[in-house]
Amino acid sequence: MALSRRSFLPALAAPYLALGQRRDRPHVLFIGADDLNNSLGCYGHPIVKSPNIDRIASMGVRFDRAYCQFPLCGPSRTSLLSGLRPDSTQILANNISVRDKVPNALTLPQHFKNNGWDSNRFGKMYHMDVPGSVGTNKWDDPPSWNTAISPPGKEQHTEGTRYPIETNGKAQWVSISFSNDGKDQADDRCADLTIEAFSQTKDPLFVGLGFVRPHVPNVAPSRFYDLYPLANIPAPVNPPDDRGDIPKASELCINTRANDIGMNDAGKREAIRSYYASISYMDWQVGRVLSALEKQKLLDKTIIVFWGDHGYHLGEHHRWHKRSLFEESARAPLIIAAPGRRGKGKGSKALVEFVDMYPTIAELGGLPVPQHCEGQSAVPLLDNPARPWKSGAFTQMHGPDNIVGRSVRTDRYRYTRWTGPYPDEELYDHQADPKEFTNLARQADKYKDVLVRMRGTLDAGWKAAKAKV
């Protein structure tokens, strides 16, 4: 039996606007994917097939250098949904609700709800353990939504062909392909609920559509695995001495997911294949929603935002996780398609941050940007993606033993400072070394001027890096 959003949580009261005003306001479709890096066709990936996300990029602006504020699910999502940086939320780990630390928060969906939008959450928006709390409302924020539904899914219990991957001597990473189209998966149900919401609405909608793929366990129909024959998947390649100049603090933050977690080359390729299959499965769900909006003639009345909550390592620096201040973990996809904007179909090299989403979407919706927001509206980039913008994007990481890492990405360099029991620093030249294999901080005399400048950029912080508009 199909799930009905009306059979779940009752609607919360919202200020009433005149009916004409409500109908004139744009819908917002806010799509988040879990543990998704930039392995997408629209970002130039040579293998991954993501035609539906690529379609969103053709409708809007693809941000090639978008950075999360904290490369971990809970802190990143809290930051982008609250408009506050991690130093302000003080949510520096998972399993913490936003109001545990910021009781008076005005979140992005709450701001729309308070101004007459019907605010809905289907799936994962705030932190949710995957697979452990899929189907629950753990760590959600009820004031953000009129309706909030966390559909259950079979996840690791799905019947199908299992591909156990040996890690650290145990077959503990399992990918699963199955024959049906995924009707027993949470992501499929979330797409159904979103389609239903748009088919029934007479009011402006804000829909937070939160997919759990490609987060492990990598579960997808077999036809998506078939897109990626194992023979076509290359194993990751790192220089023999790659880890020799990585600070100890960085290695401790990645913890059990370093050193290839004991996988051999065959296991690495299988892990990558299953990750790609999960992306294509999630992309298919995106396509189902887009087709429904197109059928209802709502595409030109809807602001569509697609984002991954942070990046994800697939063997770079021998890592298989997030929790890193390298590019692969700090950078994630961000695409914004807003009707009538002149940048349609273009990419932007501007440095943007996930904390910028709140003021951007508020402005696009015609709402005032709350004073608490610590990001900067990127609306000007939607009309002119090539215009000058921020001078730096900031990401931080907190680890065991009071380890703190703070990183700033500029147009050319990434600089990272580690404090705590193992103080150290990193400097990478993206012009000469885009994979960040050579830590130039180990050549301090040669790069003294650059180090001084980048230390100053980090110390000056996000306020000094804002774009002049």
Q: Which amino acid makes up residue 353?
A: E
Q: At which residue do the structure tokens 């609306």 appear?
A: 379
**Residues 311, 326: Cα–Cα separation, whole Å:** 9
- Strand stretches in 254-362, DSSP E: 302-308, 334-337, 346-353
Cα 175 → chain centroid: 21
Q: How far apart, in Å, do the first and last CA atoms of the chain sit?
A: 52
Closest by Cα among 39, 42, 80, 83 to 60: 42
Q: At which residue do the structure tokens 């009071």 appear?
A: 402
Strands 161-167 and 170-178: antiparallel
Sign of the alpha-carbon torsion through 340, 343, 346, 352: negative
What tokens does 88 get?
A: 């302000």
Closest by Cα among 256, 259, 253 to 424: 253
What tokens does 211 get?
A: 């997919």
CB atoms within 10 A of CB 321: 20
Which residue in 27, 42, 68, 73 is the catalytic one? Answer: 73
Q: Which amino acid makes up residue 320?
A: W
Which residue in 111, 127, 310, 313 is the catalytic one? Answer: 127
Task: Give every CB contact of residue 427 below 8 A, 6+ residues apart in sequence.
Answer: 413, 414, 415, 416, 439, 440, 441, 447, 450, 451, 454
Within 13 Å, how many C-alpha atoms sit on residue 6's CB side?
6
Strand partners, 210: 32, 123
CB atoms within 10 A of CB 459: 11
Strand partners, 428: 414
Does the annotation count 127 as an active-site position? yes
Catalytic (active-site) positions: 73, 127
